[in-house]
Amino acid sequence: MRILSVAFVLLCLTGVGLKLADSPGSQVALFANHFLEQLDDDQKSIATMPYDSDKRVDWHFIPKKTRKGLMLRNMNAAQRVAALRMLRSALSEAGYGKASKIMLLEGVLRELEGEDRTWERDPHKYFVTLFGTPGDEGKWGLSFEGHHLSMNFSFSDGALVDSTPQFFAANPATVMNDVSGPLGKGTRVLRDEEQLAFDLVASLETGQKDIAIIDQDAPEEIRFAGEAQAKVDEPVGITYREMSEESKALLTKLVNTYIDAVTEPVADERRAQIEEDGWDGVHFAWAGPTKPGIGHYYRVQGKRFLIEFVNTQADAAGNPANHIHCVWRDLSGDFDLTP
């Protein structure tokens, strides 16, 4: 496994420290400008692009040889700290913890795949891009992306107005092998995203399961991967309104797991939006078997949000259905765009 800088490990484990009392938009802009001040001219030319660049909506989570933006590996320690502080300012402690561990899972993959691996598997192979000029006037954007992680934020006149697509993934979903490094055997980075859904589908009565389970086989991948907008059909599955109180509580907890990845004021806005639209119309759908170790998928869709989760691929050690992809989309328009 590649040895990470002390600063990077501490950031992963401690969460960077206290946040400012400013609005999320102003706070992220402050850290964005601090990051830019650390860069030389060549680095700035790589890390910055116009707001209306097509690259702003060009996102994906698959491994790639290169991506838009400036790679953490091509920064010095102080620059990496500044980049990660900027990301932390847009996320919650829980969200930043997941992002940090997903980056560290690249070291686990490096070890499990060995010398014959196809990809580098470097925890520093994550890229930072700023679109436009960070500040309290006009529009600007932030992308933090690499294998199994894509965080996208849009700002307008000082406000953080969109925080999607929000994509997390984990391979292995559960670390089942003895590995070196900070993420040992038993680590389950996206535990709640998976376990709460298993608990929810198990809580449904027989007739309710018949409504909720839309297919006996799980799809291979989430829909709309890499697309700027999620082009959804009418929701399917069982509605919140039809559920028991136990199931309603589990669905609410599951949705909040995705909501609470971002900084608290933005998470509160997401929750308020669902309350405004009405929980009764939120649909939960499942595909595949309802036990671990076999490919499974679920979808939660409200009027203005979509969650998708899939776990069908084997992990790097060959353990079946141990490789999670999951995403939160804004159906009113990702990247602060009209769909």
Give me Rg for the CA atoms of the chain.
Answer: 20
List the beta bridge partners of residue 266: none
Whether the CB-CB separation of 158 and 136 falls below 8 Å is answered with yes
pLDDT, tens digit (0-9, with 9 covering 90-100), for 251-303: 999 999 999 999 999 999 999 999 999 999 999 999 999 999 999 999 999 99
Q: Which of 61, 63, 73, 45 is nearest to 129 (CA)?
A: 45
Alpha-helix residue ranges (DSSP H) falling in 38-158? 41-47, 77-90, 93-113
For the cut 80, the answer to whether the pLDDT of residue 98 exceeds it is: yes
Q: What angle do CA 153, 166, 308 make, to 5 degrees?
A: 150
Q: What is the mean pLDDT of residues 128-132?
A: 98
Strand 159-162 to 149-156 pairing: antiparallel
With cut-offs at 50, 70 and 90, classify the pLDDT of residue 21: low
- Judge whether residue 191 has pLDDT over 60: yes
pLDDT at 180 over 50: yes
Tell me the β-bridge partners of 166.
151, 328
How do residues 34-76 score in pLDDT, each as one tens digit?
999 999 999 999 999 999 999 999 999 999 999 999 999 999 9
CB atoms within 10 A of CB 267: 21
- State how far the alpha carbon of 96 is from the alpha carbons of 33, 56, 138, 261, in Å: 20, 21, 27, 7
Q: Looking at the chain, which runs of residues are DSSP E strands? A: 48-49, 70-71, 126-132, 139-146, 149-156, 159-162, 166-170, 213-215, 238-239, 283-287, 296-301, 305-311, 324-330
Rounded CA gap, 148 and 169, in Å? 5
- Residue 257 in 3-state DSSP? helix
pLDDT band at 16, cuts 50/70/90?
very low
Q: Sort strands 139-146 and 159-162 into parallel, antiparallel or unpaired.
A: unpaired
For residues 78-106, average pLDDT: 98
DSSP 167: E
Single pTM value for the model:
0.94
User: What are the pLDDT digits (tens) for 86-96?
Assistant: 999 999 999 99
Residues 25-35 have a mean pLDDT of 97
Q: Return the higher-pLDDT residue of 12 and 61.
A: 61
